[in-house]
Structures are given as structure tokens and as C-alpha cells.
Chain A
Amino acid sequence: MAQDLRYTKEHEWVRVEGDLATVGITDYAAHQLGDIVFVELPEIGRSLAQFGTVGVIESVKAVSDLFAPISGEVVETNAELSGSPELVNGDPFGRGWMLRIRIADSSQLDALLDQAAYEELTREG
């Protein structure tokens, strides 16, 4: 887990660079879901509300919603995941990233967890 990330209670991570937020799911979430076989991501240009549902992650065993960690507009999604969803399991913080959002209101980042708080959350299970 990298130090520069923020997290949601739903196990998404966010990396902020300028006004862009890159979003994925954590290694904890990927491990809990097991082998991921489909990732449904939102259309480019769609406007997202913080903590709203933006996509779906299907593993062999379960289906799980993907939530927006922050409000904003979708500027890019990871096209590689449609052919290689297993990247989310193999490299959740890297090539398994899911989408980039142009941040509408950076003060919303304060509602996210830092590294220590997220680690605390996953320890509790």
C-alpha cells in the first residue's frame, strides 16, 4: 500500500495528481473478491457523485459495486480491464487501476481515510 493514497470504507483507493483522481480497489478488496472476471466501468464524461455507484466488479464468486470516492467527471477508464480483468488481482494499485475523475470539489478528500485509518479498518475486517 502506498503512502500517497486516500481510501474509502468500501475499499477503493484514490491517487490525486493535480485536479485528477485515479481510482482503483485495494489489494484487500481484490483478495476478498477472489478472481475478478468482469469490470464494468462508467462512460467517459459521466458526472459522478461522491460515494455513488459507478460500476460493477464481478469475481467468480461474487458481484460487488464500485463507488466513486469523490465527485467529478470521468475522464478516462482503464480499457485494459475489459480484456484482462485479472490485472485487478495481480496489480490492484498499478495496472489494475479503474478510472480517472476530474475532481469537482477537492474538499471532499477530507472525507476519505488516510493510510493509518484504512489499515485500522481492514484489521477489524
Chain B
Amino acid sequence: MTQARDGLLATPLADRHRALGARMVEFAGWSMPVQYAGILEEHRAVRTRAGLFDLSHMGELFVEGADAAKALGYALVSEPAALQVGRAHYSMICFPDGGVLDDLIVYRLGEERFMVVANASNAAAVSDALAERIKGFNVVLDDRSLATALVAIQGPLSLQVTAPLTDVPIADLRYYAIGDGHVAGIPALVARTGYTGEDGFEVFVEVGSAGRVWDALMEAGRSAGVVPVGLGARDTLRLEAGMPLYGNELGPDTTPYEAGLGRVVKLGKEGDFVGRAALEKAEADGPRKKLVGLAVRGRGIARHGYELFADDRRTGVVTSGTLSPTLGEPIAMAYSAPADAEPGTILEVKIRDQRVPAQVVVLPFYRRAT
């Protein structure tokens, strides 16, 4: 990774993004492409064909040693010991009070070796917290965030585009599984994970090789209509898929239960873990707020921070909103009081000076045909 003149971190693909006409923006201290051809076009490409994402800003933390599973079991709310080698799960790292420090994907690369992938905005905090929490365990933390690039291909054509380039048997790779091998001849970890609601793969490589992997995927996907996709469409894609974004749906003031992600917390696992007492209480007490999907029945987009009302009572706040490119209608996620969270309930979002009706709907807004 290199430091750009503007003080931002640049991924190894920055020159390629500029050559492709990307608009670059600051995101979590990085200079990242927000869009190339346009958010709507990129979004539709991922839903109908496939898109290529540079996610090299994300954090990759390797945890290795005899106590690796046990140490992560103490540091995180999930149960990494239950993962088979070559499989992954969605997890969270919580504060002692039960609030969310970050959401993560944990990949088991070996009996005693894990890779934890953290959001760019939290990578340093997660690294620090992990280092602190694994003290006393027979384990080593290797923060390879700046040495690792991540290229994702997402969309229904991902498999056919990627398969000829890799010796990892990706056709047989299960969702939330990871294989070790090569892509375009370059050593890579290939995982069937993503953040779009589509089939696809995430390819982890050393930063020095990222350009060759990107070029090979672009070239292989050209005739299939694969296009580069920026952070703008990444956000609309994940929102349609009902996936939370840290800083919007998740944060230190929110427990996994409130975010509808209580299944991630393994209270039944052996031993103590950071946040256990608070999360046991949170589960027993029930949530103070609930994450809901909203179909906005009027003009305008309900955006992050807009207030949500039930009759004249303020019941919560919008966490994310957009015009759904797939549905052609405005959608949002929001926190409401638990009593107002029943699907079908009509609430109102304050959009500028108007109250616009919004119906609580079941998440996700979009589910791919399988």
C-alpha cells in the first residue's frame, strides 16, 4: 500500500481505477473508487452479470497457534472452534457492554490458523482489541491488512468467469467456504463470500500481485459484460440484500440482538468471552430497539439519520436508505421501538419538512433466485 499525496492510503489498483474513469473518494482513510460508469449501471451489472470490486482497504488479521480457536472464542461472540477447516462464518467483536466493535468474517484456514476480515474503518481497532484479548493464549496475531489486497467478483456469472483462471475447485466450493491455491498463476485464497446478495468470490492476494489478478479477471470477464464496481453500488447492493453496514446499522450503541443478528452470538459456547455477561442480559431483557426494513411509499429517499415516527411519537431513526435499483422504489433500514417493528406496520419518515409513509417489511428486500 502506498501513501498518496493527499495523506490517504492508496490500494495497489488505484492507477487502474483512474484509468477506468473512476471517481475517487476518501473512505476510512483510503482513496477508493465510489463509481465508474454510474451506481445504477454498476448495480444492475452485478445483479445480471458480474462486477469486480477492489476491497483492498479491508483488514486481514491472521491468528495462528495452538490456542487459535480458543483465543478467538474469547475475543469474539461466535464460536470459531466449531468451524471446519476451509469454512467461514459471519461474526462480531463486541465491547464488554455488548455494543458492537465490528462485524467480521472468520475463515478457518487450518486447525490452528484463522483469518479475520474486518471493516476498513475498524481494522486498526479490531487489531488492537484482538492483540489485547489474546494475551495469555498460545497464539500469534499477524495484522497483514496493508500487505493483503482483496479483489471480489460478484454476480451470477462469477463462477464461469473465475473458474478457468484458478486451480481452486470453486465450482464445488460451498457458500462461506475458502480454498487455497492460485488465481491467474498467483498464490491466492479464494472464498465464496460477498456483500451483494449474489453468488461470487473474494480473492485475497499479496498487494504486489493484485494488479495481475485484477487484470486477469477484467480480461476474462470482458465478453461476459463484467464491469468494475465502486463503493456506491456496493452500498446499494448490500442494502437490497438486507446486510448491515458498520456505522449505519451496527455500532457501539447497538447489540447484535437489536440488529436482528442474535444468531451470531453463541451464548452456549464453553468459557467466558468479552461481552458475555452483557449479552446474556441483553438477550434475557429483550431488545430496546429493532432493526426493520422499510418500503417508503412516497417521493424522496429516507436517508441515514432521518427520524422515524409512529403516529406523532418518534419511534426511531433511519440507518440506511436508497432508491432500490432492482425494485425501482425507495427502501430503507431503520431502528424502531420493538412495538412498531411488526411487518405491515405503517410508519412515517421525516424527509426534509414532510412526513412520508413507510411500511415495515421483512428483510431482505432482494433475494436471488437459486
Contact = CB atoms under 8 A, between A and B. Distances in A.
Interface stretch (B34-42, B98-106, B108-116): B34-42
B34 A61 contact: yes
Nearest to A62: B303
B156 interface: no
Interface stretch (A3-11, A31-39, A101-109, A115-123): A31-39
A37 B325 CA distance: 10
A61 B299 contact: no
Nearest to B38: A35
Interface string B38-63: 11110000000000000000000000
Nearest to A82: B299
A40 interface: yes
A60 B232 contact: yes
Interface of B: 34-35, 38-41, 232, 236, 299-301, 303, 322-323, 325, 352
A63 B352 CA distance: 10
Given A60-B322, A60-B323, A61-B232, A38 B301 contact: yes
B36 to A, nearest CB: 11
A63 B35 CA distance: 17
A40 B323 contact: no
Contacts of B301: 37-38, 58, 63
Contacts of B41: 35
Contacts, number: 34
Contacts of A29: none
A56 interface: yes
A61 B322 CA distance: 8
Interface in A36-59: 37-38, 40, 56, 58
Contact of B35 (A34, A37, A38, A40): A34
Contacts of A89: 38
Interface string A93-104: 000000000000
Contacts of A34: 35, 38-39, 232
18 contacts: A34-B39, A35-B38, A35-B40, A37-B301, A37-B323, A38-B299, A38-B301, A40-B300, A56-B300, A58-B300, A58-B323, A60-B40, A60-B232, A60-B236, A60-B322, A61-B34, A63-B303, A89-B38
Could you say which of A56, A60, A89 has the most chain B C-beta atoms within 10 Å of its C-beta?
A60
A40 to B, nearest CB: 7
